Structure 1
Amino acid sequence: MAQGPVERVKGANAYTDLMDPRRRWYNNKRLIVLNGWIVLLLVTACTSGYDGSMMNGLQSLPQWESYFKFPTKGKLGLLSSIQNIGALAGYPFAPYLCDGIGRRPTVFIGALLMVIATAIQTASQSVGMFVGARFLIGFGLTFAASAAPMLVAELSYPTYRAPLTSTYNSLWHFGQIVFALPPHGQPLARSRYKNTWAWRLPSALQAVPSLVQLLMVLFVPESPRFLVSKGKEAQALNILAYYHADGDENDPLVRYEFEEIKAAMKFDRTVAANIGWRSFLASRGNLKRVRIIIAIAFFSQCSGNGLASYYLNKVLSDIGITKPTTQLLINGVLSIWSLFCALVASTVVERVGRRILFLSSACLMTIFFTMQTVCFARFTISGDTNAARGMIAFLAMYNMAYNLAFSPLVVTYTLEILPYNIRAKGFNIFNITMSLALIFNQYVNPIALAALVWKYYVVYCVWLVCECIFLYLYLVETKNYTLEETAAIFDGEGVTEKIADSAATQAGVVMKDGGADFHG
């Protein structure tokens, strides 16, 4: 590979002209291995999706209801929300583990806690034991779900960083689908198991992804950014070279990545002072970050999707679809459709751009949710069955719109706008906001639906318009920037260029506005 200076197109993706065009994920053994490790990290989101779907499914199993003496009202609400309460309890510790001992060990600790918790949940002999296990599942999931996506973003080959990070949150739907399928899904549980194994088996199988992570995650390479932050620069360079350039530490791509990481961290520590919780209030750039992070986290759970995600059976019953098998079929088809749409959106994030996807998603959600409201109201008032069918169709279109951005992009966008030194803490703010929004959904939505029926949908119609306005005014486009350059966009004009120029100088890359040329 080239040993001398390398010319780079200024304003294009910083890595585009430094990568070997022959190196692809399907024809390079080390990229295949790296992406295999990343898949191991991605299953964390599947665990979360499975858990949410399982808890909803168990509540409809007579074996589970009778064993726990038919919990209702407050007790049922506690059983539904205790996992998120456990997650909230873990958030104060998660960023310190991620930044203190590393992303990889934090995933290991989270997986270990979830394996222990699911064992307790499976063996539960009382409501108290089940509640305790659910709390511990949420507590452990916090650590894994905080560290895994950061490690994905910080390890990925530049070409695949955005699609892979976007795939992370999209796979929540995959976990939801798995619960609905034999041999451990709700349909078979109803028909085959007449005893407590109807709920113990799906509970036990929840541990499988975490058990696989527990056995293998310590073999995953650590984040080069974490290693640089701890002064282990040689180790970081070795990982970048091994997986991104077949072991060549003098490869132009590796040299540029390594120097850019160091330049960005130096800027954060000496110029921007992006260290600690107080830094989120210390600069306009960080205030902008917090505003966007809190907003998109809240939007991701409170855009009307909570009605379909957690109370779909209630909504279907309200529009006259009461047969359990039909409800289950609709639920399964919508989950598969959502997964497909989210994965397709994940593949185009770099080509289409974050801003276009977010705005398209919000505007289309507003349209399709409004049409759902009209159909729901018409059915409620006149009993028009065609309106009921129309609502299902618009629900599917709404799911497509939601999954254009709010499944794939919320994690990706949050991680890439945060500089390394506050990435774990900023992601913690995102997760706390999301958990609070989930708890809001679980408690407020059923009460409001029961009281207002279709009129409650009007509230979300108005709220979606507000989301569109916010995203148009404040969302910043970040496509075709490196992780370090994207984070620097918020810190003032010229910061991105300073970091890129510093990295280019140290790596021997010459900046210019023309084409790229390799010298050596």
Structure 2
Amino acid sequence: MGAGAAATGSNGNDAFTHLMDPNRKWYNNRRLITLHAWIVLLLITSSTNGFDGSILNSFQSLTVWQDYFDHPVGGRIGLLNAIQNIGSLAAYPFAPYLSDGIGRRPTIWIGSVIMLVAVVLQSAAKNFGMFVGARFLIGFGLTFAANAAPMLVTEISYPKYRASLTSLYNSLWYSGNIVATWSTYGTQYIDSNWAWRIPSILQGIPPFFQFFLLFFCPESPRWLVSKGKEEQALKTLAYYHADGNEQDPLVQFEFNEIKSAIEFDREVSANVGWKSLFTTPGNRKRMTIIIAIAFFSQWSGNGLVSYYLKSVLDTIGITSSTIQLLISGILAIWNLFWAVLASFFVDRLGRRLLFLTSAAGMLLFFTLQTICTARYNIAGNDAAAHAVIAFIFLFYAFYDIAFTPLIVSYTVEILPYSLRAKGFTLFNFSISLSLIFNQYVNPVAMEKIGWKYYIVYCCWLLFELVFLYFFVVETKNLSLEETAALFDGEDASNALHNATRDVRHEDLDEKASNSAYTPTAELKA
């Protein structure tokens, strides 16, 4: 890995930064503004996920919902929480083939259609079985959209903003969480089934917009190149990254680097198919990291609060549904703030620092949460109960600075194009497995041993910290192709370097030093 890192670090990042017009900002260039508007349409896919991941937590605090579905507990409530992920599992075999076969945009659109149907069914649910079936369909459709959307975000983004925008994808999970929590907080005063039907309807807003607008969004230049549509890929890069100038040095650099990386993957048979995810040392290291952070993202103690906050609050004597919903709503806003803030610092602070800081902070505050929960349950200390709430908020602040923004962006950026869809599917599959386990085990464990279950997560968080220290590779300020080359050694790095050598040096220096070359003059184009 050392040689590969040197090759990309010394030649790639400096030249890549030099190619970008410093005066072209996201707020002063009309085509970048348009590009970012399309990216927002893709980012709200995560809002749908966040909404569904939070809605049952809120519903459990609604008396009318509990009455309608006969007060589900234990395995029954576990099934309601897990069925969305079971639906996701059913779609995983198909999602990467659609993303790589028909394109990122059509795959997201198909997922949106399925989710719209599911939202109608959930909102009109007449019984437990219909509600469960609707949630299965939501998970099934969400898998298609969630597989393609973050890849399209990272593959069309302007290089300067790629890391932050891709990190924002998972951070906006909390925007859906906020809508779900606060809409349910407001509808709790409705003394009818509309108290839960209205929030269910709101879940259809993101897929509704995607259904009508998605095909106006640009397709991935990398997908276009992989399908032999190089001219269209070049035009897409030029239109959004250089105001239509196909000879712009940044556009030429990106285009040549994309072609080189895809051609290199085609020449190396080890980079083709599912088996390739584990056939080379570089790919094995990728998948070790990716699978680990997928499980860590759900097995850090956060699953207790995300899906069973009511049970957690019950253990410290807070049983009022209004207070529980209020705490959940404030926590959602708190989480969104920290996750979005961290998204804008991923290239400044680096992935390793954020991951390690996150794990250390979670270990500290979850341990303190465990101690205070024990004091309340053993000695009835009310001050300890209030401290638990404070430590939950502090725990999530540290969780959000890495495990919300980075798990998706880090996964898609360390995977080469040929493996991106399959590797990202395996990442999502690992998350679903961890969620299904959590959603069945957590309520049973909480019911059987209460606060003592927290000790398991304290030990696991220590393991996470050690693992991240030894395995996470720093990738800040590199292009997608350069980042992927970090894991594949000197051959991949040299292939990228040779393919873009002319753009990196001769063409770039000539245009950058030419007084007639003024990219800022193109801002009005």
TM > 0.5: yes
Q: CA deviation at 1:273?
A: 3.2
Whichever residue aligns with residue 190 of structure 1, its letter is: Q
Offset at residue 373 of structure 1 (A)? 1.3
Cα deviations by residue, 1:126-152 (Å, 9 ceiling, x for unpaired): 322222211111100000010000000
Q: Distance in 2 between matches of 1:70 and 1:387?
A: 30
Aligned to 1:202: 199
Alignment of 1:158-197 (within 5 A): 158-181=159-182, 185-192=183-190, 194-197=191-194
| Closer, same or farther: CA 71–461 of 1 in aligned 2, 3 Å | closer
Q: Distance in 2 between matches of 1:189 and 1:491?
A: 53
| 1:276-355 matched pairs, under 5 angstroms | 276-355=273-352
1:96-119 Cα distance to aligned partner (Å, 9 max, x none): 000000000000000011011111
Question: 2:422 aligns to what?
Answer: 425
The question of whether the paired residues in 2 share the 8 Å contact of 1:9 and 1:17 is answered with: no
Q: Is the Cα contact below 8 Å between 1:50 and 1:206 reproduced in 2?
A: yes
Residue 264 of structure 2 is matched in structure 1 by 267
- Conserved? CA contact 2:272–2:418, under 8 Å: yes
TM-score (norm 2): 0.93
Is 2:41 the partner of 1:40?
yes
Whether the 8 Å contact between 2:85 and 2:139 is mirrored in structure 1 is yes
Matched, 1:405 2:406: no
2:475 is equivalent to residue 490 of structure 1:
no
Choose from 447, 450, 453 the match for 1:450: 447
Match for 1:312: what amino acid?
L
Aligned-CA RMSD value: 2.0
Q: Which amino acid aligns with 1:391?
A: V
Kindly tell me: are residues 11 and 255 of structure 1, through their superposed partners in 2, closer, same or farther at Cα, counting changes over 3 Å?
closer
Q: Provide the rounded CA distance (Å) in 2 between the counterparts of 1:348 and 1:14.
A: 22
Contact 2:100–2:421 (CA under 8 A) maintained in structure 1: yes
Provide the rounded CA distance (Å) in 1 between the counterparts of 2:468 and 2:186: 44
Q: Which runs of 5+ in 2 are unaligned?
A: 1-8, 518-525
Relative to 1, partners in 2 of residues 1:89 and 1:487: Cα closer, same or farther, differing over 3 Å? same
Q: Tell me the residue number matched to 1:3.
A: none
Distance 1:447 1:415 in 2: 35
Aligned-residue offset at 1:517: 5.3
Deviations 1:180-223 (A, max 9, x none): 22xxx22332213x232222222122111110010001110000
Q: Does 1:136 align with 2:137?
A: yes
**Kept in 2: contact 1:13–1:481 (CA 8 A):** no
What residue number does 1:4 align with? Answer: none
Q: Aligned to 1:180, what secondary structure does the other structure show?
A: helix
> What is the CA–CA distance in structure 2 between the aligned matches of 1:104 and 1:13, rounded to whole Å?
32
* Partner deviation per Cα, 1:299-348 (whole Å, 9 max, x = no partner): 00001111111111211121122222222222111111111011110000
Note the C-alpha offset of 1:253. Answer: 0.1
Q: In the alignment, which residue of structure 1 is the partner of 2:505?
A: 509
Distance 1:210 1:13, change over 3 A: farther
**What SS class does the counterpart of residue 500 from structure 2 fall into?**
helix
| C-alpha separation in 2, matches of 1:386 and 1:172 | 32
Q: Which has the higher helix share?
A: 2
Q: Which moved more, 1:140-149 or 1:385-394?
A: 385-394
Give the superposition deviation at 1:60. Answer: 3.1
Deviates more, 1:334-343 or 1:450-459: 450-459
Counterpart CA distance in 2 for 1:353 and 1:136 is: 37
Pick which of 35-44 and 70-79 moved more: 70-79
Could you tell me which amino acid in structure 2 is paired with residue 316 of structure 1?
L
- 8 A contact 1:486–1:496 mirrored in 2: no
Per-residue deviation at 1:510? 4.5
Give the letter for the 1:29 counterpart. R
Shift of 1:14: 4.5
Query: Would the aligned equivalents of 1:303 and 1:460 in 2 still touch at CA under 8 Å?
Result: yes
The equivalent residue for 2:471 is 474
Written as runs of structure 1 = structure 2, the 5 A alignment for 1:90-105 is 90-105=91-106
Paired residue total: 507
Contact 1:369–1:398 (CA under 8 A) maintained in structure 2: yes
Between the aligned partners of 2:470 and 2:145, the Cα distance in structure 1 is 33
Moved over 6 A (4+): none
Query: Quick check: 1:109–1:144 contact (8 Å CA) kept in 2?
Result: yes
SS of 1:490's partner is coil
Which has the larger displacement, 207-216 or 238-247? 207-216
Match of 2:222 among 195, 220, 225: 225
TM-score, normalised with respect to structure 1: 0.94
1:358 counterpart (350, 355, 360): 355
Identity of aligned residues (%): 58
